[in-house]
Every structure is written in C-alpha cells, then in structure tokens.
Amino acid sequence: MQKKTFPPGEYKKDPGKFITLEGIDGAGKSTHLCGLEKILGERGKTVIVTREPGGTSVGEALRELLLDSSRAMHAETEALLMFAARREHLDKIILPALARGDWVISDRFTDASFAYQGGGRGLATQKLDKLEQWVQGEFQPDLTLYFDVAVEVGRQRISAIKSADRFEKEQNEFFRRVREAYLQRAQRFPHRIKVIDSNQPLDEVKKSLEKIILSICL
C-alpha cells in the first residue's frame, strides 16, 4: 500500500466515521460497543461513545421520560421525543465530533425509530421519513452494525441483568415486529447496515464484528 505523505503544514487528519449499533433489547450491543471502542482506540482513533435516546443533557432528560415505565404516552409523542433528542444529539455531540475528525459510535440512532416506533408501535413509515428528513436531512451513519438475535434469546438476556424499562416491558410480539423491521431495513440498505448473527457464542460475534470493522473502516 502506498504511504500517504503530507507537505509540512498540510497534514489533514483522516476524517472520522459515524458508526451506529442497533438490535432488539438484549441483543448484546453494549458488550460489543466496548470491543469496538477498543479496536478503534488501538488504531489511534479518537472515539466518542454516545447513545440514543440521550447523549446530551436535554437528551438524557428525554430518555428518562421515554423509558419510565410509569408514563404511558401516545406512539406519536414517543416518536417526536425520540427525534427531538436526536436533533439535540446531532447538534451538540455527533456533528461537532465528526467535524473535528473524531470517530463517533452511537448506541442506537434513527434505525431504532423505524424499528421500534414504526415496526413495534405501527406508526406509518411516511411519518417517520418526514421526521428523519426534518432532523437530519440526508445525513446517515457511515456504518450500522445490527446485532440480530432471536426474540426469546434477547428477552432472557435482559431479564437476567436488570429491571425492565417501558420498552422492555413489551410482549414478545412487539419485539418480533421490531426485529422484522430491522431486518427489512438491513435488506433495503445493505451497504450501510451489516447484520451480525448475535445468537452465536460471544467470541464468534466478536470475530464477525472485527472482520467487518477492519474491512470497511480501517
């Protein structure tokens, strides 16, 4: 491979990339997020790790509202709040980091709204398309890792770790629709969304993840 040289004063940092992690609850995103951060860090990248809903002060306040199982809300209210948190997240964290040349890994982004509010709650995709266009225009992640797991496996994993939030209290049928919506999006955007079979043992998932990252991003 040819080595890049820059005349003094003209050094340009390689541009950072925006990577998002998706999956139904219990798919193992959080575990693999740490692995991914490590792989990138070892290769000298400055990595910002963040999450949705959340990542900013306003976003984290909205997250608390959204996940609170004692607060029922209309599906459209839920979608609007997700996108409101996202607007803030783009403005305060994601876009400034990318402008500095940093890498950004976000635990969930807009695909989650299409999967949960679209697939899970049954909101019309056209409405979500409009919100997406309003909040982010044509901006999309460079890469989305979708950790695919059978609904029963995901449910078992979450019930073992913590008490359920408002989404995790939903029935298996809800998660089947969420998973189906994710898989449909992965089929629709095969260049951006890579499906990782998360039913495999942890080490195998890790290997698949590394292979994808090294081939696509580095």
* Footprint of ligand TYD (CB under 6 A): 25, 30, 52-53, 82, 107-108, 112-113, 116-117, 165, 167
What token pair was written down for 46? 């400055």
Minimum CB separation of residue 99 from ligand TYD in Å reads 22
Enumerate residues 6+ apart whose C-beta is below 8 A from 215. Answer: none
Pick 60 or 142: Cβ nearer ligand TYD: 60
The DSSP bridge pattern shows strands 193-197 and 18-23 to be unpaired
Contact yes or no for 154/133 (Cβ under 8 A): no
Pick 46 or 164: Cβ nearer ligand TYD: 164
Residue the block writes with tokens 């695919």: 148
Distance, in Å, from the CA atom of 87 to the CA atom of 114, rounded to the nearest integer, reads 16
Pick 16 or 55: Cβ nearer ligand TYD: 55
Check the CA dihedral 207-209-210-216 and report its sign.
positive
Minimum CB separation of residue 40 from ligand TYD in Å reads 20
Minimum CB separation of residue 78 from ligand TYD in Å reads 7
Pick 25 or 102: Cβ nearer ligand TYD: 25
Q: Three-state DSSP class for 28?
A: coil
List Cα–Cα distances, 104 to 19, 36, 95, 151, in angstroms.
6, 11, 9, 28
Q: Three-state DSSP class for 211?
A: helix
| Residue 155, CB-side half-sphere exposure with 13 Å CA sphere | 12
Pick 108 or 155: Cβ nearer ligand TYD: 108
Minimum CB separation of residue 21 from ligand TYD in Å reads 9
Pick 102 or 132: Cβ nearer ligand TYD: 132
Minimum CB separation of residue 22 from ligand TYD in Å reads 9
Minimum CB separation of residue 197 from ligand TYD in Å reads 19
